[in-house]
């Protein structure tokens, strides 16, 4: 079976055949969560896409190293340098140290990932544990003449990088100073797109480290460059994130990494479209949906996974969520109800292994190729699901669960055989005899007795039936 994997590379705005640097080995970096609150289900949609990508690449026989950073310092309330560190604000709000806060939400994040069937990334580096690498990278940028200092800290000078903005394809000279960040503009900053590599002069910031530019903390973008290169090398295969990361965060990652090494940073850039809950969902606005909200509302987290599987990762997904209580802990969405119901039907179908249309090996292999063809076309999971439905083969669904992650092994099972106690069986026989003798008073009394014992007796053309009541 050889279907070549094509993916949409944001860098080239085109689908391209994917060829890793070392055949059979894939280095994948994905921008991870900022752990100042629970992940919302929008963040998790992006991580779910990355999980599908990893699983597909592995299914195709690749040895994938998946690195996802944990941002526990330096992500400001804007994606640029303005505002305050999200971690610092949240720590104050929750009366915790930023470190306690980070560990708490990192743990919660891993629990949510698990609930959604997202495999644990191979490496989950924390920004606060890689400050040394970030300083080293900044020093290299300084040595190569890409930086300048202001009262606020060390900046990357984008005017020195003639490739700057190649990912986002933005014409920066048309932007006005301060246009990108209306919260605060450092008067020492030379152009609006220049960005912080290291913050200094923030005496109230709790998380601080010594550096050649003064005591302070790293900028958010440098985190990803330093950690990606540490674990995957200066040039690696794929970098992923949400669409919102294209114009600022990923653009800056490319600039600082490529200027520091003189080499290509990531070769393929993939970006996931947003999940929109009635148009807007934002972790910083405090009003957002979490996996816990789904659970409180009676939804199986895998129903959300199934919903996401049915939309292509480059298409926005709308979720019309209605809150059903004032405390905003419970709600309901028609599309999730539909996904939950069809997942239930799917489990029932996959459980009926005796009804297998693809028992013939050649037919099965051809069907596998059909599904893979969809998956290899820029991870077209919705199309693959359509193909799977059209075959209606429990065996085929199970084969692809390594990618789908719907846990057929444990969930698509026939209800267990119920063993009926012998005294119950005796009563069933007695009732049958009473019916034959047309002693219906007696047979009704036995039916009532059985019900009281927790068993429901019925009659079928083949004879009496018995099952647990309720």
244 interacts with, out of ligand AMP, Zn ion, none, CB within 5 to 8 A per kind: ligand AMP
- Least separation in angstroms between residue 240's CB and ligand AMP is 7
Number of shown-chain residues binding ligand AMP (CB under 6 A): 17
33 interacts with, out of Zn ion, ligand AMP, none, CB within 5 to 8 A per kind: ligand AMP
Element housing 136 (H / E): helix 131-143
31-39, 118-126, 335-343, 396-404 -> range binding Zn ion (CB under 5 A) = 31-39
Residue 186, C-beta contacts closer than 8 angstroms, at least 6 positions apart: 81, 150, 151, 152
Q: Measured at CB, which residue is nearest to ligand AMP?
A: 242
224 interacts with, out of ligand AMP, Zn ion, none, CB within 5 to 8 A per kind: Zn ion
Residue 12, C-beta contacts closer than 8 angstroms, at least 6 positions apart: none
Cβ atoms of 72 and 102 within 8 Å: the answer is yes
Q: Considering only residues 280-339, where is the footprint of ligand AMP by CB under 6 A?
A: 281, 283
Residue 418, C-beta contacts closer than 8 angstroms, at least 6 positions apart: 467, 468
Residue 173, C-beta contacts closer than 8 angstroms, at least 6 positions apart: none
Q: Considering only residues 217-246, where is the footprint of Zn ion by CB under 5 A?
A: 224
Nearer Cβ to Zn ion (42/301) = 42
- Least separation in angstroms between residue 7's CB and Zn ion is 19
- Least separation in angstroms between residue 360's CB and ligand AMP is 42
Nearer Cβ to Zn ion (80/117) = 80
- Transcribe 263-305 into DSSP letters: S-SEEEEEEEPPEEETT---GGGS----HHHHHHTT--HHHHH
The pair of three-digit structure tokens given for residue 134, joined into one six-digit string: 């970030």
Nearer Cβ to ligand AMP (39/387) = 39
Q: 10, 18, 29, 34: which one contacts ligand AMP (CB under 6 A)?
A: 34
- Rounded to whole angstroms, the Cα distance separating 79 from 373 reads 37
270 binds ligand AMP (CB under 6 A): no
Q: Considering only residues 43-102, where is the footprint of ligand AMP by CB under 6 A?
A: 43, 45-46, 71
Q: Are strands 266-272 and 275-277 parallel, antiparallel or unpaired?
A: unpaired
Nearer Cβ to ligand AMP (117/241) = 241
Nearer Cβ to ligand AMP (79/157) = 79
Residue 180, C-beta contacts closer than 8 angstroms, at least 6 positions apart: 78, 80, 192, 193, 248
Alpha-carbon torsion (231, 234, 236, 242), positive or negative? positive
Radius of gyration of the chain (CA): 28
34 interacts with, out of Zn ion, ligand AMP, none, CB within 5 to 8 A per kind: ligand AMP
46 interacts with, out of Zn ion, ligand AMP, none, CB within 5 to 8 A per kind: ligand AMP
Q: Considering only residues 214-253, where is the footprint of ligand AMP by CB under 6 A?
A: 241-242, 244-245
254 binds Zn ion (CB under 5 A): no
Identify which of 213, 80, 227, 95 has the alpha carbon closest to the alpha carbon of residue 149: 213
274 binds ligand AMP (CB under 6 A): yes
- Rounded to whole angstroms, the Cα distance separating 219 from 353 reads 54
Nearer Cβ to Zn ion (37/251) = 251
Q: Considering only residues 356-395, where is the footprint of ligand AMP by CB under 6 A?
A: none
- Rounded to whole angstroms, the Cα distance separating 301 from 308 reads 11
Helices (H), 315-439: 334-351, 361-376, 381-391, 394-399, 401-404, 408-411, 422-436
- Least separation in angstroms between residue 16's CB and ligand AMP is 21
User: E strands along 60-183, which residues?
Assistant: 63-68, 147-149, 153-156
Identify which of 69, 77, 79, 66 has the alpha carbon closest to the alpha carbon of residue 109: 69
Nearer Cβ to ligand AMP (48/259) = 48
Cβ atoms of 75 and 34 within 8 Å: the answer is yes
- Least separation in angstroms between residue 253's CB and Zn ion is 6
242 interacts with, out of Zn ion, ligand AMP, none, CB within 5 to 8 A per kind: ligand AMP
Q: 7, 11, 28, 31: which one contacts Zn ion (CB under 5 A)?
A: 31
Nearer Cβ to ligand AMP (202/245) = 245
Binding site for ligand AMP (CB under 6 A): 31, 33-34, 42-43, 45-46, 71, 241-242, 244-245, 272, 274-275, 281, 283
- Return residues touching Zn ion (CB under 5 A): 31, 224
């Amino acid at each position: 079976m050889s279907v070549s994997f094509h993916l949409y590379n944001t860098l080239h705005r085109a689908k391209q055949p994917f060829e890793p640097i070392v055949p059979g080995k894939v280095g994948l970096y994905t921008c991870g969560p900022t752990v100042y609150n629970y992940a919302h289900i929008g963040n998790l949609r992006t991580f779910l896409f990355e999980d599908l990508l990893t699983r597909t690449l592995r299914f195709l026989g690749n040895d994938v190293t998946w690195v996802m950073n944990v941002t526990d310092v330096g992500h400001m309330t804007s994606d640029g340098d303005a505002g305050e560190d999200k971690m610092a604000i949240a720590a104050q709000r929750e009366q915790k140290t930023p470190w306690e806060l980070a560990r708490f939400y990192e743990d919660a994040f891993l629990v949510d990932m698990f609930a959604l069937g997202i495999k644990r990334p191979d490496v989950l580096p924390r920004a606060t544990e890689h400050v040394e690498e970030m300083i080293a990278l900044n020093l290299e940028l300084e040595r190569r003449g890409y930086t300048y200092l202001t009262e606020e800290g060390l900046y990357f000078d984008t005017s020195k990088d003639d490739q700057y903005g190649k990912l986002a394809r933005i014409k920066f000279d048309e932007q006005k100073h301060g246009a990108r960040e209306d919260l605060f503009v450092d008067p020492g900053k030379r152009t609006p797109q220049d960005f912080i590599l290291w913050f200094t002069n923030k005496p109230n910031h709790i998380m601080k480290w010594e550096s050649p530019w003064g005591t302070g903390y790293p900028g958010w973008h440098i985190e990803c460059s330093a950690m990606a290169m540490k674990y995957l090398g200066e040039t690696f295969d794929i970098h992923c994130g949400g669409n919102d990361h294209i114009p600022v965060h990923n653009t800056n990652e490319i600039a600082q990494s490529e200027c520091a090494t003189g080499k290509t940073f990531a070769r393929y850039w993939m970006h996931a479209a947003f999940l929109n809950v009635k148009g807007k969902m934002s972790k910083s606005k405090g009003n957002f949906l979490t996996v816990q909200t789904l659970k409180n509302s009676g939804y199986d987290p895998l129903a959300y996974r199934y919903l996401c599987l049915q939309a292509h990762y480059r298409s926005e997904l709308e979720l019309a969520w209605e809150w059903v209580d004032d405390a905003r802990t419970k709600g309901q969405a028609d599309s999730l109800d539909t996904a939950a119901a069809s997942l239930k039907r799917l489990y029932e179908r996959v459980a009926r292994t005796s009804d297998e249309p693809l028992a013939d090996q050649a037919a099965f292999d051809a069907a596998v190729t059909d599904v893979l063809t969809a998956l290899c076309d820029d991870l077209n999971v919705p199309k693959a699901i359509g193909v799977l439905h059209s075959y209606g083969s429990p065996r085929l669904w199970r084969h692809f669960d390594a990618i789908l992650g719907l846990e057929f092994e444990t969930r698509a099972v026939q209800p267990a055989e119920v063993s009926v106690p012998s005294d119950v069986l005796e009563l069933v026989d007695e009732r049958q005899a009473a019916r034959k003798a047309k002693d219906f008073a007696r047979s009704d009394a036995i039916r009532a007795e059985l019900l009281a014992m927790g068993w429901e007796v019925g009659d079928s053309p083949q004879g009496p039936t018995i099952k647990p009541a309720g």
